[in-house]
Amino acid sequence: EIKVNMISAQPYEYNFPADGVALLIIDMQRDFLEPGGFGAALGNDVSRLQAIAPNIKLLLQAFRNYRLPIFHTQEGHAPDLSDCPVSKLNRGKSQLKIGDVGPMGRILILGETGNAIVPELAPLPGEFVITKPGKGAFYRTNLEQLLQQQNISHLMITGVTTEVCVQTTMREANDRGYECLLVEDATDSYFPEFKQATLEMIRAQGGIVGWTATTTAVLQGLA
């Protein structure tokens, strides 16, 4: 008999099978969280995003303790930029573009110092790392195949930024039939009002994209 767990969530309680849930951590990379990376190059104040790392760490430790699957994503491009559309390369008016050399190496290029996941959330062996060229984690990746292989039906989603890579991924997952919960205090945006709007649009209309809940509620539901 499969144990079903319950999380106190919005717009209503979220039930999940204990053996069908995975943690998805979106793009907790130095490129988005630290000065000198891609986020800063686009003109953003990156400092506020770092505040969610401790909550994600708590979730990461819980999933590790319960031996549940963990997926980390990383937005980045091949050194020759062959996987970067010209439209993305040229977007914005920043001094430093994708592929240019910044203080943490080449901006948004896989393998560079600045493209790594922040040290406190670094993946351990046995955890999945999905590198992705787009905002959504399903576009040009094997994420869906891996989720199917692991018999995952339910996703707890965290990371940055709420209205860009997180929301795009959550919508892609929702359309593929996954029951998604966004952890409210384990995601953030450079724009607080965009984060708030995203939480509201996800859970509107009876949870049209999914659920939201706090880290505390998720940890209680996992126990």
Known catalytic residue: 180?
no
Binding residue for ligand C5J, selected from 56, 84, 165, 213, defined by CB under 6 A: 165
- Cα separation of 40 and 187, whole Å? 18
CA angle 127, 129, 131 (to 5 degrees): 175
Question: CB neighbours (10 Å) of residue 154?
Answer: 19
Number of residues that bind ligand C5J (CB under 6 A): 8
Q: Minimum CB separation from ligand C5J for residue 186, in Å?
A: 14
Tell me which of 31, 135, 165, 185 is the catalytic residue.
Answer: 165
- Using CB under 6 A as the binding rule, whether residue 178 contacts ligand C5J is answered as no
Work out the burial of residue 146: count CB atoms within 10 Å of its CB; fewer than 13 is exposed, 13-18 middle, 19 or more buried: middle
Binding residue for ligand C5J, selected from 164, 170, 186, 199, defined by CB under 6 A: 164
- Cα separation of 203 and 192, whole Å? 17
- Using CB under 6 A as the binding rule, whether residue 131 contacts ligand C5J is answered as no
- Using CB under 6 A as the binding rule, whether residue 169 contacts ligand C5J is answered as no
**How far is CA 144 from its chain centroid?**
15
Binding residue for ligand C5J, selected from 24, 27, 130, 181, defined by CB under 6 A: 27
Q: What does the DSSP assignment read for 55-73?
A: HHHHHHHHHHHTT--EEEE
**In this chain, which stretch among 11-19, 111-119, 158-166, 203-211 interacts with ligand C5J, using CB under 6 A?**
158-166
Question: Which residues are at the interface with ligand C5J (CB under 6 A)?
Answer: 27, 32, 75, 135, 160-161, 164-165
